[in-house]
Structure 1
Amino acid sequence: MHHQVFTVVRLRSGYDLAEVDAFLAQVETTLSLLWQDNAQLRERLGAAPPASTPTDAGVLAAAHRSAQETLESAQQEAGQILADARTDAERLRREAASAADALTRAAHQALDEQLDRLERAITDQGRNLQHHLHTQLGHLRAALADLDTHGRTPGHGADDAASQRPITVHSPAFTRDPAAGH
């Protein structure tokens, strides 16, 4: 009983409760037996003739001392088991908190990196779209200037081949041909 070892439970703090309960039941049984033996020895001592031998008194005193020592030892051992369990529980709590903090930091870092990539992609797409719109605006201005240079204005000369030609708009997201009806 002096060298009882308990299994540490990994999924929750402390020791295996079944083992601790079994050990405490064993200590309780041992103490009960010692108390019963002590009571029986006292009864025999009380029933013994008044001229009892010093040996009977010595046996009774030794049994009482043994019971007292066993009880004190069991109490000390139980106290040590509880202290160890509390220490282990606190260590496991600190380890779990540390692991949770590390996971939280890693998740924040991953989210920050994803946000940075998304912001860069949005910025790049904005630049590309702006470039394409400026290019298309330049094409439209050039077409208008070409029409003005040749003495034509939009909406006149419907029979002219140049006015029959559809205007095609190009952009990074889609290409639209107004004549196609899209």
Structure 2
Amino acid sequence: MAKYDKADLERRMQGAVEALKHDLSGLRTGRANTALLDTITVEVYGAHMPLNQVATVSVPEPRLLSVQVWDKSNISPVEKAIRSAGLGLNPINDGNTLRLPIPDLTEERRKELAKLAGKYAENARIAIRNVRRDGMDALKTDEAKKEISEDERKRSETELQKLTDEVIKAADEVAGAKEKEILGK
């Protein structure tokens, strides 16, 4: 068992919040966002490559994404990958560039996305609590090895719980803001 390291635990908890932010950035809110296409892979040159390695994605207008494919022979596979990604986007091919108008979200789809955002937030909370549990275990081990006193363990446990509460609150705020954005409130 590793020795109690508050800085490492805090870094791991913040990592869970960063992962949550990344997950949430991929949810469509009715506004164009380049992160929307981050998960798409394209089959080109006999391999699966992330979209950002074969094209440049930009946001020329609030409700439009533009995908500039570097090699014109890859336009068709990129278009196919975007269509089949399940994002509800229909690329318009103008020869050199793919334009992706972002359609309005239906109320039902908004609710589904808000529910998914809540699920991502719960996963982040679970990850944060798992880090806390690791820290608590390390403290108990350190006390059992007589490396720290009972008072030190209790003080550190209180500190760790306070840190956990703060990080969970930050994760909830991030998710809450995204849910409001999705629901258009």
The structure with more helix, counted as a fraction of residues: 1
Q: Give the TM-score normalised by the residue count of structure 2.
A: 0.34
The structure with more strand, counted as a fraction of residues: 2
Q: Give the TM-score normalised by the residue count of structure 1.
A: 0.34
Relative contact order, higher structure (CA 8 A, sep 6+): 2
